[in-house]
Every structure is written in structure tokens, then in C-alpha cells.
Amino acid sequence: MSEYPWHCRFCDREQTVSGEGWQASVVDLTAVNADGPRRLVVQFVVCPNPDCRKLSLSAALHDLKVVGNRSYTGKLIRTWPLVPPSSARSFSATVPAHILEDYHEACLAIEQSPKASAALSRRCLSGMLRDFWQVQPGSLSDEFRQVRGTVDPLTWEAIESVRKNGMIGARMESEGAEILDTEPGEAKMLIGLIETLIVDWYVGREERRKRLKDIRQITGEDAAEKAGEE
Ligand SMILES: [Zn+2]
């Protein structure tokens, strides 16, 4: 197996995986059944980042093509992320547990129930607005309106692109946890917005704090050096 690009969900970094970090095994179902021959591919990837080295495990079900006494991997039918259990990202910032929990559950539910996933995402977005911006509780749309003009213009554009997206805009008028019909694409869009806002708000704040601390350390050292010279 040659090298290929891969995104680690544990350290949230783009990586290049080579042969030794990748192991896969194949199980073929050849017994006569209602669906036809099937191939399951189980795959391990070990993150090459020396500070991470976490294993990821996934399974993929394919059609099995049998020609004579040879068999081939056919069309992909379904994939399952096993470890980590969903496509949820990890973030390099402290985010309140109830917000992360809603986000992780929204990611877990997306395949089985986009409707439940979107409801969790709306509650998560509302939780972020109340925690990070201390907005007054209201409809999600109203809560977003309260931070207009306060949030970074590019962040507001990301929010607007989801708000203006037809049905989602209307759905945001309702209370966060209400269950409404949702397409898988809409549910994914809400998860994408949560990820953007966590990075812009929580990760951004932590990075600004770190830079400030670095500056203070430098200026503090400068002051100490000057004191030593005198
Ligand atoms: Zn990693």
C-alpha cells in the first residue's frame, strides 16, 4: 500500500499514512442469501503523528464480484466508523461538556436519524450562544440575532449561509430541541456550522489567551533583564 492522505479524528490533523500504519482484513460472504455475495473490509489506521499514535478502526461493506475462482471488491454499500465511533472532531480548546456531548451525539445520530441529529445540533448551537455570548434565551434564530454585529463578519457569513438555506432558516425559528423533518444534508450542514463556531469562538479565544500569555512572559522577562542590568 502506497502513501495516502488521511485526517486523524483524535488529533484533528491532516496526515500521510504509509504501509506500516495501515492494516486491513477481508471477510467474504459466499453463502447463498437474499442480498447476494458480500465483502467486509475491516481497516486499522495508526496515526503517524508521534504525539498521537491513536488507532482508528472502520468497516466497509461491499458487493462481492465472483468471476470463476477469483473474487473482487465490488460497489461500496455502507461504511461504519468504529473507533472513534463517529466523524466528530476533537478540538484543541476547552468546550463545556454539555455542548460537546450534544455535538458528539449529533454526529453519532446523523446516519440513523438526521431528524434527531439536527435537533441535537440546534440545542448545541443554542448552548454555545448562551455560554459564549450570554444571549437571552429565545428561539434559536432570535438568539443568533442577538450576536449579529458582535461576532466576526466572516463568522456571521457562515451563520447566514446556514440561516438563508431555505428550510433551515425557517426551522431555526423554532425552539432548539424541537424535532422537525430534516434531510441528511441539512443535518450535516448544522454539524459543519457547530464545528466552524467552536473553532472561531472557543479555539480562537484559547489561541488569543495563549498569545497574550506569551507576550506577557516576554515583557516580564524584559523587565527582569532591565532590573538586572541596573
Ligand atoms: Zn492523530
Per residue in 30-45, pLDDT (tens digit) is 899 999 999 999 999 9
Please tell me the distance between residue 59's alpha carbon and the centre of ligand 1 in angstroms.
Answer: 19
Average pLDDT over residues 138-158: 92
Cis (ω within 30 of 0) for the bond into 84?
yes
With b for 16 or more beta-carbon neighbours within 10 A and e for fewer, the 173-197 pattern comes to eeebeeeeebeeebbbbbbebbbbb
Please tell me the distance between residue 11's alpha carbon and the centre of ligand 1 in angstroms.
Answer: 4
Please tell me the distance between residue 44's alpha carbon and the centre of ligand 1 in angstroms.
Answer: 13
pLDDT band at 171 (very low <50, low <70, confident <90, very high): low
Q: What is the pLDDT of residue 223?
A: 58
Please tell me the distance between residue 200's alpha carbon and the centre of ligand 1 in angstroms.
Answer: 21
Q: Which residues surround ligand 1, an ion (CB under 5 A)?
A: 8, 10-11, 47, 49, 52
